[in-house]
Amino acid sequence: MALENELLKLMERDCRAAPAQLAAMLGAEESEVAQTINKLEQDKIILGYQALVDWDRAGDETVTALIEVKVTPQRGDGFDRIAERIYQFEEVESLYLMSGAYDFTVIISGRTLKEVANFVSARLSTIDGVTGTATHFILKKYKEKHSVFETSPVQEERMIFC
């Protein structure tokens, strides 16, 4: 289990690392690492592999929103049935059950503010059990999944004393 956890940590940081490279970092055999990765995929512990893309730098401007959703849990199903309805929407990138004033946090992306607003008003807020929403637009990403998005260098002010 220790090998699995350490392997998962390394793969979370860089899923493109080859089994040979991972094995060297872990002090394990390459075949053991390859078999462990295969098992983790089959057991649905590794759900997929994704590139983290800075879409602003790629020239594809999108609007990302964090939407807090308040719901009335359903008898017998609690939050699960409502969560399933929400995560089925293509626009939904992430969905979390939360503690606090709101029950869910939904992360979505769209081409424009209007597109995101239409999703919230026409699709999300009309789901049975949804009693309120609060939408927050992400203005700038600085760090996501341990990766820092490159920012413009800060101009240093230099003073010369004579």
Decide if pLDDT at 154 tops 80: no
* For range 88-106, the mean pLDDT: 96
- ∠ CA 93-89-124, nearest 5°, is 100
Residue 105: what residue type?
Answer: T
More confident residue, 69 or 111: 69
* For range 1-24, the mean pLDDT: 89
d(CA 35, CA 48): 16
Residue 98, both tokens: 């939360």
Q: So what's the pLDDT on residue 155?
A: 46
* For range 138-152, the mean pLDDT: 82
List for the chain the helix, strand, coil content (%; round to 5): 35, 25, 40
Consecutive H or E run containing 69: strand 63-71
Question: Going by CATH, does the domain composed of 2-42 fall within 3.40.630?
Answer: no
Q: Report pTM.
A: 0.76
Q: DSSP state, 120? A: I
Decide if pLDDT at 9 tops 60: yes
d(CA 149, CA 121): 31
pLDDT tens-digit map of 42-62: 999 998 988 877 777 788 788
The answer to whether residues 104 and 87 touch, using CB atoms and an 8 Å cutoff, is no
Consecutive H or E run containing 63: strand 63-71
Q: So what's the pLDDT on residue 157?
A: 54
Domain range list for the chain:
2-42, 55-140
CB atoms within 10 A of CB 10: 16
Q: Determine the CATH number of domain 55-140.
A: 3.30.70.920
pLDDT tens-digit map of 21-32: 999 999 999 999
Residue 81: what residue type?
Answer: R
More confident residue, 84 or 9: 84
